[in-house]
Amino acid sequence: MTQDVNKDAPQQNHKDGAAAQNGAPSLAHDIEQEEYGAGDPEKKPKKTTSSAQPTPMMAQFLEIKAVNPGCLLFYRMGDFYELFFEDAEIASKALGIALTKRGKHLDEDIPMCGVPVHAAQDYLKRLIGQGYRVAVCEQMEDPAEAKKRGSKSVVKRDVVRLVTPGTITEDDLLPTSSNNYVATLAMLRHGENTFAISYADISTGDMFYAEMEPSAVTDELARIEPRELVLTAATRDALIEAGGLPPSADIQLAEERAELFDSDLAGDRIAKYFAADQLDPSAYSRLVRAAIGALIGYIDETQRGAQVPLRLPRIGGANTMMIDAATRASLELLRTNRGETKGALRHCLDNCVTAGGSRLLSARIAAPLADPASINDRLDMLDDFARDGLLITDLRGRLKAAPDLVRALTRLSLDRGGPRDMAAIGASVIAAGHLLAPLSQIHNPSQGVQKLLGALDAAPQELADHLARALAEELPLLPRDGGFVAKGYSQELDEYRSLATESRQIIAALQAEFAEKTGIKSIKVKHNNVLGYFVEVPAAHGDKMMSAPLNESFIHRQTLANVVRFTTAELSELQGKITRASEAAVAIEQGIFGQLRDEILAQTKPLQDVADALAELDFASAMALLGLERNYVRPKIDQSTAFDIDAGRHPVVEMMLQKEGTTNFVANDCDLSGPEDKGEMGSLWLITGPNMGGKSTYLRQNALIAIMAQMGVYVPARSAHIGVVDRIFSRVGAADDIAHGRSTFMVEMVETAAILNRATARSLVVLDEIGRGTATFDGLSIAWAAVEALHENTKCRALFATHYHELTALSERLDRVSNHTMKVREWEGEVVFLHEVGAGTADRSYGIQVAKLAGLPDHVVTRAQEVLDILEKREAGSMEEGMNQLPLFAARPQPKPEKHKDLLAQKMKSINPDEMTPRQAIELIYELKKLSRNNA
C-alpha cells in the first residue's frame, strides 16, 4: 500500500473518475476544500462567495502565473491539474474538454477546466503539438503540513518544469527515430551580421555549436531542424532578413530577454556547468560563447535547476556536405513534400532495430561527410559485417534486447525516471556484454569495430547485475507506486511486506471470530480511506450490536441507511500495524530507488559511451544488411572530381516497385567526370526527352547516390566512383511560396540564383526545367545563360534537364557539355517510355501523348494535335495562313460516344488466355465481334 502525497483534494468516486479520464473537469469542490480547509468528510464544503479579494488559493495561482508568462499553468490539486481563467479557455478548445465556471474573482466567474494527473502525458503531447508551452506546478508539501499552519492555509506549490517543444524528455512525447533539438541563435553586429547557433537534445545529452554567415543560417536550421529556437527580438528580425526559417520546418520561436545572451554571463554559466578540467569557456569566440551559454541558461530555466547530463559541446556540421533547404525539400531526405515519412530516403533506409540507430541514421542523412578518410572508415566497418550474413543476423537479434538507454538515463538524471528506466539501462548494458563475443570473431577488424569493442567492453556490468538483482520482473511506471524491488533483495522490506500479506489472513480470521461471537453470519470486516478497518452489519442487527454484552467489545462508529459500522480494539491495533508496515515499506523502497539512481548517475559517461556504441553498431549492421538484400555496392570515394555511376538506381522508387511487385527499376549510367586534361572541372549533361520519361527520377537518383555514398553506406548501382562533393544543389519540381508573395517562377529564380552564386567546382548540381515558368523566349534565354554560367564560371558537375531543344546546340560550343535523352518508342500511334538514358537529343516532348495518358478527352487531344501541327510550321506566314484555315473549336463535329470503345478495352484487359477453355474462347470471339460492330 502506498501513500498518496496529494491529499488536499477529496477523492473522486468511480463516476467522477471515469468522466475525468474523458477530459471532463474535476470536482469543483476541490477548490473549496483547499480554500476552507479539510473538515468533517461527511459535511459538504461551503460555497465560495463573491469577493473583491482573491481567496488564498487563487492568490497563490495568480502569483505563480505572473512569474511564468506565456505558459499554460498546470496547477496541481489532488489528482488533477487545474487550469483557470484564459488558460482554461485556451486548453478547453485545444484539448476538446469541458469548460466550467466556479467561484468568483473580482465579481466575475472563474473559467476552469482540468485534466487527471495519470493522463496528463496525453494532454501535454497534444498541447505541445499545437505549439503551446506548459508550466507544471506541483504540490511541494504534504497537505497535513499545511493544516498545521491553520485550517485555511494553502499547500505550498511551485513550478517544477516548463514543458516546451524542445525540452521534453518523455518517450511518448518524443520522436523515436530523430533527435529533438532546442537551439539558441546569437548575433554579432559588425557591419554585416554574423550568427552563432548552439543546439542540444536534452533527451540524449548531445550538444553542438556552429558559427556562420547570414546566408547559411536558414540552411543550417534546415539541417538540424530544431523543434524550438530561442532568440531575441532583434535576432529574429535579422533572421528574417537573412532568409527566415526553412519553409518545410516545424520550428517554434521562443523570444527571450537579451541578458540571456550576454557573453560574460554565458562564460560563467558554461564554467559552472562543466568541470574546469573538461572545458575552458575562453576557448570559444564571444559569439559562440553567447550561444552556448544562452542554451545552458534556457535549459536550466525550463528544468528549474535539474541537471541535464549534457555532453561537451562539439562543432556541428564540420567537414560535411552542404545541402541547402530547397535541396533537402526537393530530394525528400527525411520526409516527402507532403510531410509524410513514407516515401522519403530515411524511410527507405531505416532498417535499424534500436531507437538510437534510427536517430543516427537520420543525423547522417542530414549531414553526409565531406572527408574521404572518414567516409572510408565507415565503409570499412560495413565491409566487416557484409562479409558474414550470419553475423549480421546474430548481432541484430542481440541488439533488439537493448532499449533506449540514453533517454532513460536523462529521465533519471532529471528525477523523472522510474523503475522501468532503470530496467532499460540494465538491459542495455547486459545486451552490450552479449555483443562482445560475436564481434570478437571478426577477422582483422576495422578501426571502427575496434572502437566499438572498446566501448562495449567498458560497459559497467556490475551495475547491470546489481539492477537485475534489485528490480522485480513486473515494474510500475513510477517509483511512488511501489512494488518494484525484487523479493529477497531487502530482508527488512520483505518483513514489512509479509506483514501486509499476513494481515489479509488475520482479517479473515477476525471476521470468522466475530461471526461466531455475535451469531451474525452476515457480519463483514471492511476498509475505506476515512474510517480505516471497521465491522459492518445489516441495520436489522444494529440494536443487538449496541446492546450488552456486545457493546463492550464493539464500539459504534457510523449508522447509514442499510448498515451499521463498528470498530474493536483488535481492529484498531491491526490498523496501526498495517499502516506502519505500509509506510515503512514505501520508505524503504524509496530509499532503495534513490541509492540505485545515484549508482546509475555515477556511471553517466560510460553509459553514454555504451549508448553511442549500440547506435553505431545498429546503424552499421543495418546498412550492411540492406546492401546485401538490395544488391547495393561499396562506392569508391576520393578527392578527385570523378562522378561515374554504372547502372545506378533510385533507392526509394526501386523499393516501392519491389513492394508493389509491378516491374523492375530500369538502371542508368551517369558519368560527369571531367576530362583528364581539364583538371578540377566536371562535365555537364543536357538531358532532353518526353514528359513522364523519367528525367526527374534520373536527376534525383544521382543526387541521392552521392548523399548515400558520403554518408558512408552502400549505394544502389553496379559500381560508383565519386570524388567528394562539397555542396549539392537540386532544383527539381515546381512550387510557389504564397506566404512570402512568391510565384512559382519567382521561387524557381531565387533557387537558381542561390545555386549559381554558391556552387563551387567540387559541387554537384541537378536542375530541371529552368525558365519554363515564363514566356518561351525569356525562359530559353535564362536557361541558356544558366548553362553557360555553370560551364564557364562554376565548372562543376551538373545534370541539366530541359524541354528547350535549342539548348542542345551548346554542346558544339562548350567542350564539357554533352547531350543525352530519355529514350521512347512509338507503336501504333502510342508512345512507350523506356526510362533509359542514352546519348543524343530528343526531337519531340510528347506532351500531347502524355496528356492523352492522363485522361484528357479525345476531342481535346485531337484539337491539340491539329494546333501543334500548325505551330510547328516555323514560317510566320504559313503559320498564320494555317491557323486561319483551322476551324474553330466550337465548329468541329462532336465526337462519338466512347461507351462501346471503353467496354471493348475493358473486356480485352480482363482476358487471360491461359485460363480459358476452348468453349469459353469461342464464346469470347462472338462477344468481341458484337462489341466491335457496336463500336463501328
Block means of pLDDT (10 residues each) for the chain, 936 residues, are 36 36 38 41 41 77 92 93 94 93 80 91 90 93 81 88 92 90 90 88 96 92 95 93 84 92 92 85 92 95 90 92 93 90 95 96 96 97 95 96 96 93 97 96 94 96 96 90 92 84 81 91 87 90 90 90 91 83 88 96 96 97 96 96 96 90 86 78 90 88 98 98 96 65 77 91 93 78 92 94 89 93 77 85 76 80 80 54 50 51 66 77 76 60
pTM for the full predicted model: 0.82
Q: CA–CA separation, 851 vs 356, rounded Å?
A: 47
Q: For residue 142, count other CB atoms closer than 10 A to its CB.
A: 17
- Quote the pLDDT of residue 22: 39
pLDDT at position 905, please?
67
Amino acid code (one letter) for 810: L
pLDDT value at residue 470: 96
- Which grid coordinates are listed for 338? 507532403
What are the structural domains of the chain? 14-163 (3.40.1170.10), 176-318 (3.30.420.110), 353-460+610-625 (1.10.1420.10), 491-594 (1.10.1420.10), 631-851 (3.40.50.300), 857-891 (no CATH), 899-935 (no CATH)
- Listed in sequence order, the residues at least 6 apart from 258 whose beta carbon sits closer than 8 Å to its beta carbon are 232, 234
Residue 378 CB neighbour total at 10 angstroms: 22
Question: Is there a binding annotation on residue 694?
Answer: yes
Is position 692 annotated in a ligand binding site?
Answer: yes
Query: Is 771 annotated for ligand binding?
Result: no
Residue with cell 567498458: 458
Cα separation, 416 vs 167, whole angstroms: 13
pLDDT of residue 824: 82
Check the annotation: does 691 bind a ligand: yes
CB atoms closer than 10 angstroms to residue 177: 18
* DSSP single-letter state for residue 760: -
Return d(Cα 451, Cα 445) in angstroms, integer: 10
* Cis amide bond preceding 549, omega within 30: yes
864 residue type, one letter: A
Order across the sheet with 524-528: list the strands.
Answer: 524-528, 532-538, 563-567, 555-559
Q: Which three cell numbers stand for residue 92?
A: 478547453
- The DSSP H or E segment spanning 329 is helix 325-331
In this prediction, residue 35 carries a pLDDT of: 43
Determine contact, residues 504/498, Cβ cutoff 8 Å.
Answer: no
Cα–Cα distance for residue pair 421/427, rounded to 1 Å:
10
Number of helical (H) and strand (E) elements in the chain, helices listed first: 32, 27
DSSP H helices in 631-762: 651-660, 695-711, 744-758
According to DSSP H, which parts of 141-204 are helical? 143-148
Who's near 734: CB < 8 A, 6+ residues apart?
Answer: 744, 748, 769, 772, 773
Q: How many CA atoms within 13 Å lie on the side-chain side of 227?
A: 25
**Radius of gyration for the alpha carbons in the chain, expressed in angstroms and rounded:** 37
CB 770 within 8 A of CB 748: yes
857 is in an annotated binding site: no
Is 708 labeled as ligand-binding?
no
Q: What number of residues does the chain have?
A: 936
Grid cell, residue 485, equals 524491488
| 869, burial (CB in 10 Å: exposed 0-12, middle 13-18, buried 19+) | exposed
d(CA 491, CA 494): 5
What pLDDT is attached to residue 927?
Answer: 76
Question: Bridge partners of 845?
Answer: none
Q: Which amino acid is at 31?
A: I
Answer whether 543's CB lies under 8 Å from 552's CB. no
What is the model's pLDDT at position 170?
87
pLDDT attached to residue 171: 86
912 is in an annotated binding site: no
Q: CA torsion sign, 30 to 580 to 508 to 565? A: negative
- Amino acid present at 73: L
Find, among 439, 429, 350, 448, the residue nearest to 608 by Cα: 429
Measured between alpha carbons, how far is 410 from 408 in angstroms, rounded to an integer? 5
Which run of H or E residues covers position 293?
A: helix 286-302
How far the first Cα of the chain sits from its last, in Å, is 88
519 is in an annotated binding site: no
